[in-house]
Amino acid sequence: MRNGGAGMEKALSNQEDLGGGRGMTDDIFDESYCEKKGPKPARRYVWRNIILMSLLHLGALYGLWLIRAAKPVTLAWGFLCFLLSALGVTAGAHRLWSHRSYKASLPLRIFLAIANSMAFQNDIYEWARDHRVHHKFSETDADPHNATRGFFFSHVGWLLVRKHPDVIEKGQKLDLADLKADKVVMCQRRFYKLSVVVMCFLFPTLVPWCFWGESLRNSFFLPAILRYVLVLNATWLVNSAAHMFGNRPYDRNINPRENRLVTFGALGEGFHNYHHTFPYDYSTSEFGWHYNFTTAFIDLMCLLGLASDRKKVSKETILARKTRTGDGSHKSG
Ligand code: ST9
Ligand code: ZN
Ligand code: ZN
């Protein structure tokens, strides 16, 4: 039985409700959904995306080649841009807007929305909608990046073909009122294209070119293109590798796994067995700051008074769940 089945309510007894006291449950796995019988719809390629994604990755390969000729400060800037755009996804689109696992003040939400545009992964509204449907209908036709369709599909292939109709049908039934009510989310959606041009491409390129005389070629291909492609692939690995390789200490009945390599590259987002078991935990892990830069960032924001109300699963609940549905690997780890 997926997600521990009927016993789940018992395991979550320390929580206010199945949604962990957030007032939302649309990221909790829905066992009642059944895939439609009969032949699957034909795969429809989106050639524009295939061509652009290929060109982007060729550009990133060229960026790798250029590293040897770049100034160290440009590489440091590229790394900073990686961290900023990654936080826009991890602390922003993921933990705040998809899961409502903590609350953020207006200045922090504005910062995260700008950082999110730097990551250019669809606007926050679309990202969070697709991500909620991923949790609710994980590994089924209604999951946008259904990992049972293979590594390539769950990694990038899903962005190169039309969605399965069930993704759209089920997505339309989600409660997205919280996203619609958030002016920062809706403003980013309204000005998304402009914000991406400025934050993902112009800003990372112009800073090294203007401030320390880096060549325009290095400034564009390293902090803009290569950094963008690295953040994309680190994110996609959560959907592919962390749904296939690793232990399942919390729930052996689901595919998502604990993957150390992904955790490292994705600022703490590779504890994926834990995350699908307890999607409302702001830390996406039971181990605090361990390999989890995003958790450290959210904690710092709380310290500064810019965030609050972090949702955390109790140690007792975690242990009970491990004992009941885990694969036993925590004992050896
Ligand atoms: C990208 C996203 O990379 C990556 C997300 C990854 C998520 C990872 C999660 C893992 C956990 C978090 C870890 C973070 C780690 C970060 C680490 C950082 C170091 N519900 O979409 P369309 C409607 S993006 C309801 O065109 P098609 C839609 O509103 C990269 N409705 O579907 C529209 O309606 P209307 C850049 C839905 O035609 C209609 O359906 N972007 C839903 O099948 C058609 O929508 C790209 O590469 C839903 N779920 O096309 C490609 N979905 O017409 C961008 C859709 O009324 N995407 N609808 O407005 C596309 O080009 C297309 O979406 C497509 C599908 C070709 C993929
Ligand atoms: Zn999630
Ligand atoms: Zn997942």
Instruction: Report yes or no on 124 lying in a domain.
Output: yes
Instruction: Verify whether ligand 1 is closer than 6 Å to residue 167 (CB atom).
Output: yes
HSE value, Cβ hemisphere, 13 Å, CA-based, for 236: 17
Residue 16 in any domain: the answer is no
Secondary structure of residue 178 in the 3-state scheme: helix
Q: Could you give the CA distance from residue 102 to residue 292 in angstroms, rounded to a whole number? A: 16
In a domain, 220, yes or no: yes
Residues 266, 285: Cα–Cα separation, whole Å: 13
Per-residue pLDDT of the chain (333 residues; tens, 9 = 90+): 344 433 333 334 444 456 777 878 899 998 888 888 888 999 999 999 999 999 999 999 999 999 999 999 999 999 999 999 999 999 999 999 999 999 999 999 999 999 999 999 999 999 999 999 999 999 999 999 999 999 999 999 999 999 999 999 999 999 999 999 999 999 999 999 999 999 999 999 999 999 999 999 999 999 999 999 999 999 999 999 999 999 999 999 999 999 999 999 999 999 999 999 999 999 999 999 999 999 999 999 999 999 999 999 999 999 999 999 999 998 754
Separation of CA 125 and ligand 1 centre (Å): 10
The answer as to whether 265 is a domain residue is: no
Residue among 248, 246, 251 nearest 320 (CA): 251
- Residue 162 alpha carbon, nearest atom of ligand 1: 43
CB-ligand 1 contact for 96 (6 Å cutoff)? no
Residue 245: predicted pLDDT: 98
Alpha helices, DSSP H, located in 151-219 = 151-155, 165-171, 177-180, 183-190, 192-196, 203-211, 216-219
The rounded Å distance from CA 260 to ligand 3 centre is 15
The C-alpha angle with vertex 56 and arms to 51 and 61, in degrees rounded to 5, equals 125
Tokens 């293979």, located at residue: 150
How far is the centre of ligand 1, averaged over its atoms, from the C-alpha of 186 (Å)?
16
- Total count of residues recorded for the chain: 333
- The residue whose C-alpha atom lies closest to atom 15 belonging to ligand 1 is 235
Mutate to test the pocket of ligand 1, among 159, 164, 170, 240 (most ligand atoms within 8 A of CB): 159
The residue whose CA has the least distance to atom 65 of ligand 1 is 162
Number of domains in the chain: 1
Does the residue 131 lie in any domain? yes
Which residue CA neighbors atom 57 of ligand 1 most closely?
159
Q: Each residue of 215-269: pLDDT tens digit?
A: 999 999 999 999 999 999 999 999 999 999 999 999 999 999 999 999 999 999 9
Ligand 1 close to Cβ of residue 88 (< 6 A): no
Q: What is the ipTM of this complex?
A: 0.98
Cα 267 from chain centroid (whole Å)? 10
Question: Does 302 map to a domain?
Answer: no
Q: Classify residue 259: in a domain, yes or no.
A: no
Structural domain boundaries enclosing 70 = 41-250
pLDDT at 332: 57
Pocket of ligand 1 contains residue 238 by CB under 6 Å = yes
The phi, psi pair for 104, rounded to 5°, reads -125, 140
**Residue 177 burial by CB count (10 A; 0-12/13-18/19+): exposed, middle or buried?**
exposed
Cα→Cα distances 221→47, 48, 78, 79, 232, Å: 24, 21, 10, 13, 15
For ligand 1, mutation pick of 161, 168, 271 (most atoms within 8 Å of CB): 168
Answer whether 172 contacts ligand 1 (Cβ < 6 A): yes
Interaxial angle between packed helices 227-239 and 47-66, expressed in degrees from 0 to 180 and rounded to the nearest 10: 120
